[in-house]
Amino acid sequence: MSTAPSFDDGSGEADSLDRIASDLRVRKERSGRSYADIARRIAELRIDRGVAASAAQPPRSTISDAFRDGRTWVDPVLLGDIVRALGGDEEEAAAWVARSSAVRRGGRRPPARRKMPVEPSILTPPLDPVPARLGLLKPAMLVGAVALNLLGILVVQTLHLPLFLDMIGTAVVAMALGPWHGAGVAVVSNLLGFTVGVPDAMPFALVNLVGALVWGYGVRRARMGDDIRRFFGLNLLAAVACSLVGAPLNVLLFGGVSGHGFDTVTSSFETMGVPLIAATFSSNLLTSVFDKTLVGFLALMVLLWLRATKRLPVPHMSLVDRLSTPAVARPRAET
């Protein structure tokens, strides 16, 4: 069980922000967490409290400043979140906040400004801050996602590919902004299917919507965006879920023959004596596994690009953080 820190060390020296920073560094060393780990944990805690994911994760530089000597002020909300991220309970977090408030009320200033060792991870440009233009980035992402979905449909129709590629934008938005944002992209994309020569796409909006919910909740509730293995499993789960919805729709609306590239696979299963619904599901699933795996990793590439160019925060997908941070840090580490 966590306990509140002891503020009286018997020296008789008045408490100060420097002493708070020193004790906080000791707490960090005991936890073994890096500044990046602390930032990710704070984001998770804030999201649980209802803060939007896009605004939940503080910059690593802001986190490291709280541990630095020479401060004249420390954000009490951030201080409490840091203590929680380091494993402290609510009582301990409140005690640290009360301690910093007492220092402020007493008007105590640090006796001297000293430099503390800088962790290598904070030498890199911070990737976690919420972009100043996030208000414009969000609608741009939604419009771009719909365009990506329609482009995928057009490519499949033009090249007669045995894939779907109609959910790249859905996956990007569902993972980055949330499952219901992804669902909105899914519905709009299918409603606009006629613009790329696929008027029959509207009923399959339900399939696209299911994919949005699986990807969106998968990276948040099940933490399936934390590493490559789990992310691959997430895409397989999306493939199965979409086939469970798509195959019955295909049979009900088109008798199992929708004019898609996988119709030949369905026919092959039927010639083997497999019932229509089973043949349709099997061919749909086979196609969907390849399609959703490709779509998922294409969406991951888009997220990495948005992270690098627009500083889009994706605190619930540590895979994005791990894949993007080394690419920035490596050149500096060699100098």
What is the DSSP-derived secondary structure letter of residue 13?
Answer: P
Q: Could you tell me the CA-to-CA distances from 334 to 61, 120, 234, 262 in Å, in that order?
A: 21, 12, 36, 50
Q: Distance (Å, rounded) from C-alpha 90 to C-alpha 322?
A: 29
Q: Residue 206's pLDDT is what?
A: 95
CA-based nearest residue to 149, from 177, 128, 171, 168: 168
At 208 the pLDDT is 96
pLDDT the model gives residue 123: 35
Q: Do residues 94 and 69 lie in contact, with contact meaning Cβ atoms separated by under 8 Å?
A: no
The pair of structure tokens assigned to 71 is: 């401060």
Angstrom CA distances, 259 to 25, 93, 154, 199, 315, stand at: 64, 61, 14, 13, 41
How many angstroms separate the Cα of 184 from the Cα of each of 22, 25, 55, 139, 306? 48, 45, 21, 12, 20
* Number of CB atoms found within 10 A of residue 167's CB: 33
Whole-angstrom distance, CA of residue 189 vs CA of residue 235: 20
Give the pLDDT of residue 2: 45
Locate 232 and state its tokens. Answer: 């691959």
pLDDT per residue of the chain (335 residues) written in tens, 0 to 9: 444 454 555 555 678 888 888 888 988 888 888 888 888 888 888 888 888 877 788 887 788 888 888 877 788 888 889 999 898 888 988 888 888 888 877 654 444 444 444 444 333 333 333 343 457 889 999 999 999 999 999 998 898 888 889 999 999 999 999 999 999 999 999 999 989 888 888 889 999 999 999 999 999 999 899 899 999 999 999 999 999 998 888 888 877 666 665 656 666 666 777 777 777 778 788 889 999 999 999 999 999 999 888 888 887 888 887 887 643 344 443 33
Q: Provide the pLDDT for residue 102.
A: 85
Amino acid at the residue 225: G
- pLDDT at site 7: 54
Phi, psi of 108 (to 5 degrees): -80, 140
- State pTM to two decimals: 0.61
Structure tokens at 12: 């008789």
Sequence-ordered alpha helix ranges (H) in 160-275: 168-176, 179-191, 205-220, 228-254, 263-271
d(CA 285, CA 242): 8
Give me 138's structure tokens: 């969000």
Residues 135 and 132: their CA atoms lie apart, in Å, by: 8
One-letter identity of residue 303: L
Give the model's pLDDT for residue 109: 47
- Nearest Cα residue to 143 out of 195, 184, 198, 201: 184
The pLDDT of residue 225:
92
Residue closest to 172 by CA, chosen among 284, 307, 36 = 307
Q: Quote the pLDDT of residue 118.
A: 42
CA distances from 211 to 190, 217, 239, 296, 330 (A): 13, 10, 8, 10, 35
How high is the pLDDT of residue 139? 93
